[in-house]
């Protein structure tokens, strides 16, 4: 089956066409641009171009897999609404995937893994994995707090790694952002089975910045 | 079934709008559906629109609102011939949701996409109610986000700004004065209601930008808002009760007076015979009554769409798309991006 995979939870605008069968996902074509301001502009053209390179059209798509964050950029919503609209118009299911899970899914091996991405405002999003399964997170925290809490981390992945001062022994593995294959792999068996997808709900992890107005400010001199 | 179906998507502020219109070769634009999901109640406790809250609400509402519009029109997505979307001006994060959705729908359905100007949408709203606009006409757009006087030569290609607010939008002044008077947000309807019981001549509030040296067709509502605040505070200090109805009526009179005086003067000086008033504040009872009175006296035809079409909606955006189709305008590229500061003379991108 042909799966369209997309993610806008990191500074990357990620679009890919993946073929999926019992052997697992295999990349046919991808378009990735790292520019946190370009999600709205480039995502749909990237999807179109990746499909063209794969020798396919919109009508050939069987399923969509979409990273749902956590992501600090307003662009997260560009990816999610794109996935929702494509699924609606093409009448195919759209499967949500935690973007950190997709990064983890690209890292081979069973050893413990920490995935960290940039949450901006001097914070990181993170989740930890054991034998490919998420055991904690996703959460948002200051890097120092995360390090104090985690203690023994041996392998890290994700674009937020450079924001944390990991001990020298910690091994950096995997990619900075989710890949199309990682997204499809993380979405798991429901895609191939054609199971009903979970709702496409963004992982914001933070409440909107908004303050309720206090007492009225006076304009006249007392 | 003849004609082309145009889908319109609007998400520039706190309303998620999806509209459908049918346009035929004669130029007639028929309204098929106009569905809006508003997040206004989520913003009420903050006293104004919170961009992140609005953007989150747009994402949730987009596909359900689309389905409601299609159901109302008894159409399927496959019946859509073109898509128009607001690409500015407006809140960046909010615009992004509508633009991204429109691009995905256009790519999936393989139909042309038109990124259009929200302000042109407010003008086009009137064509859904009263038919084609005479050329040229003058448009006064008043809402929480805009206060502008536009010369409209050609809806699809030539709109020129004659004047605009130099500070607050008229609707913003309503919200702030409502807060002063302990009336709810948004301030337009409660002030209008309170004003009906009050005397519009009770307090002489200033008319901004009406001096001989001021720009003839620009507006200012910041000074008025401050004058109301000073007046209310003086009353409170003296221990007297604030006459809410009189303050509301006198404030509303000042707003309506300036807006209509400038619009009518512009129409006269430019020799334009038709004035369209649109935007959320167009529904204000005193503004429409005074505009009707002054336009009649000056021999100007006044057109005001029904309140539902005056506030932000997707049908008005579909109407702009219909006019672009009729004019044979080139569609936008799929690289289209939102432009929060899109100038009014850029009708399509
Ligand atoms: Zn508006």
Tens-digit pLDDT profile for residues B246-260: 999 999 999 999 999
- Is A215 exposed, middle or buried (CB count within 10 Å of its CB: 0-12, 13-18, 19+)? exposed
Say yes or no for a CB contact (<8 Å) between A48 and B107: yes
Residue B219 is given by DSSP the state B
Pair A190, A197: CB distance under 8 Å: yes
Instruction: Confirm or reject contact between A169 and chain B (CB < 8 A).
Output: no
Whether A92 and A128 map to the same domain: the answer is no
Q: Which residues surround ligand 1, an ion (CB under 5 A)?
A: B 143, 312
pLDDT at A120 over 90: yes
pLDDT at A220 over 80: no
The residue-averaged pLDDT of A29-40 equals: 96
The shortest CB-CB distance from A208 to any of B47, B52, B105 is to B52
Pair A186, A98: CB distance under 8 Å: yes
Residue B99 within a domain: yes
Q: Smallest Cα–Cα separation from B10: which of B31, B45, B36, B30?
A: B36
Sorting pLDDT into bands at 50, 70 and 90, what band is B102? very high
Instruction: Confirm or reject contact between A206 and chain B (CB < 8 A).
Output: no
The shortest CB-CB distance from B56 to any of A48, A86, A208 is to A208
Tens-digit pLDDT profile for residues A150-203: 777 899 999 999 999 998 889 999 899 999 999 999 999 999 999 999 999 999
Whether A125 and A84 map to the same domain: the answer is no
Please give the distance, rounded to the nearest whole angstrom, from the Cα atom of residue A216 to the centre of ligand 1: 27
CATH number of the structural domain spanning residue A161: 3.30.420.200
CATH number of the structural domain spanning residue A55: 3.30.420.40
B158-164 and B147-154: which strand pairing? Answer: antiparallel
Residue of B nearest to A208 (CA): B52
B143 is in an annotated binding site: yes
Pair A166, A153: CB distance under 8 Å: yes
Whether B171 and B87 map to the same domain: the answer is no
Sorting pLDDT into bands at 50, 70 and 90, what band is A149? confident
Element (H, E) at B142: strand B137-142
Whether A92 and A133 map to the same domain: the answer is no
Whether B46 and B68 map to the same domain: the answer is yes
Whether A29 and A126 map to the same domain: the answer is no
Sorting pLDDT into bands at 50, 70 and 90, what band is B81? very high
Asked whether this complex has an ipTM greater than 0.85, the answer is yes
- Overall domain count for chain B: 2
Residue B297 within a domain: yes
B284 is in an annotated binding site: yes
Pair B139, B120: CB distance under 8 Å: no
* Domain of B48, in residue numbers: 4-125+313-327
Please give the distance, rounded to the nearest whole angstrom, from the Cα atom of residue A219 to the centre of ligand 1: 29
Query: Closest approach of chain A CAs to the CA of B158, in angstroms?
Result: 26
Residue of B nearest to A73 (CA): B93
Tens-digit pLDDT profile for residues B205-230: 999 889 888 899 999 999 999 999 99
Please give the distance, rounded to the nearest whole angstrom, from the Cα atom of residue A93 to the centre of ligand 1: 34
Q: In what order do the strands lie in the sheet with A24-34?
A: A24-34, A12-21, A2-7, A63-67, A94-97
Residue A62 is predicted with a pLDDT of 98
CB burial of B72-110 (b: ≥16 within 10 Å; e: otherwise) equals ebebebebbbbbbbbbbbbbbbbbbbbbbbbbbbbbbbe
Please give the distance, rounded to the nearest whole angstrom, from the Cα atom of residue A161 to the centre of ligand 1: 43
User: Tokens at residue A128, please?
Assistant: 């930890």
Work out the mean pLDDT of chain A and round it to a whole number: 94
Sorting pLDDT into bands at 50, 70 and 90, what band is A221? low
Whether A60 and A85 map to the same domain: the answer is yes
- Judging contacts by C-beta atoms under 8 Å, the chain A residues touching residue B53 are 208, 210
Residue B341 within a domain: no
Whether B190 and B247 map to the same domain: the answer is yes
- Which of B49, B50, B107 should be substituted to probe chain A, the one whose Cβ sees the most A Cβ atoms within 10 Å? B107
Say yes or no for a CB contact (<8 Å) between B100 and A78: yes
The percent of residues above 70 in pLDDT, for chain A, comes to 97
Can you tell me the distance from the alpha carbon of A29 to that of A77, in angstroms, rounded to the nearest whole number? 23
* Domain of A117, in residue numbers: 101-172
Whether A78 and A106 map to the same domain: the answer is no
Whether A120 and A89 map to the same domain: the answer is no
Residue A210 within a domain: no
């Amino acid at each position: 089956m042909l799966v369209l995979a997309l993610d806008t939870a990191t500074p990357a605008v990620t679009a890919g066409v993946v073929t999926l069968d019992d052997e697992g996902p295999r990349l046919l074509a991808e378009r990735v641009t790292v520019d946190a301001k370009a999600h709205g502009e480039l995502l749909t053209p990237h999807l179109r171009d990746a499909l063209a390179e794969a020798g396919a059209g919109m009508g050939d798509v069987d399923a969509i897999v979409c990273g749902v964050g956590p992501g600090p950029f307003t662009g997260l919503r560009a990816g999610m609404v794109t996935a929702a609209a494509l699924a609606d118009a093409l009448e195919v299911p759209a499967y949500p995937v935690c973007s950190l899970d997709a990064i983890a899914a690209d890292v081979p091996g069973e050893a413990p893994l920490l995935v960290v991405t940039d949450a901006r405002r001097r914070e990181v999003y993170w989740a930890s994995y054991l034998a490919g399964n998420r055991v904690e997170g996703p959460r948002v925290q200051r890097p120092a707090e995360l390090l104090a809490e985690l203690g023994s981390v041996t392998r890290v992945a994700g674009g937020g790694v450079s924001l944390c001062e990991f001990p020298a022994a910690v091994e950096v593995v995997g990619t900075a952002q989710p890949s199309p294959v990682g997204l499809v792999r993380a979405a798991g068996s429901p895609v191939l089975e054609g199971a009903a997808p979970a709702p496409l709900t963004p992982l914001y992890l933070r409440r909107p910045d908004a303050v309720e107005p206090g007492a009225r400010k006076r304009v006249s001199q007392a | 079934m003849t004609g082309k179906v145009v889908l319109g998507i609007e998400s520039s502020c706190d309303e998620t709008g999806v509209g459908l219109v049918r346009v035929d070769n004669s130029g007639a634009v028929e309204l098929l559906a106009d569905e809006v999901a508003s997040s206004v109640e989520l913003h009420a406790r903050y006293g104004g629109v919170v961009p992140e809250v609005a953007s989150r609400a747009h994402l949730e509402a987009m596909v359900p609102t689309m389905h409601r519009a299609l159901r109302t029109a008894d159409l399927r997505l496959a019946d859509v011939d073109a898509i128009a979307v607001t690409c500015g001006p407006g809140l960046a994060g909010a615009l992004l949701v509508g633009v991204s959705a429109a691009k995905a729908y256009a790519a999936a359905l393989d139909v042309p996409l038109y990124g259009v100007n929200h302000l042109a949408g407010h003008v086009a709203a009137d064509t859904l109610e009263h038919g084609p606009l005479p050329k040229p006409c003058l448009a006064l757009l008043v809402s929480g986000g805009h206060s502008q006087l536009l010369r409209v030569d050609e809806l699809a290609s030539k709109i020129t700004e004659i004047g605009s607010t130099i500070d607050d939008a008229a609707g913003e002044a309503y919200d702030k004065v409502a807060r002063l008077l302990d009336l709810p947000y948004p301030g337009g309807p409660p002030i209008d209601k309170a004003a009906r019981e009050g005397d519009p001549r009770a307090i002489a509030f200033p008319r901004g930008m009406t001096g001989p040296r001021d720009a003839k067709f620009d507006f200012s509502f910041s000074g008025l808002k401050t004058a109301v605040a000073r007046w209310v505070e003086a009353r409170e200090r003296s221990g007297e009760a604030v006459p809410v109805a009189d303050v509301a009526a006198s404030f509303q009179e000042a707003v309506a007076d300036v807006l209509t005086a400038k619009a009518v003067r512009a129409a006269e000086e430019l020799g334009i015979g038709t004035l369209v008033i649109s935007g959320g504040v167009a529904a204000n009872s005193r503004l429409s009554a005074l505009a009707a009175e002054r336009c009649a006296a000056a021999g100007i035809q006044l057109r005001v769409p029904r309140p539902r079409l005056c506030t932000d909606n997707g049908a008005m955006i579909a109407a702009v798309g219909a006019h672009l189709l009729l004019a044979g305008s080139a569609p936008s590229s799929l690289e289209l991006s939102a432009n929060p500061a899109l100038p009014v003379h850029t009708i399509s991108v």
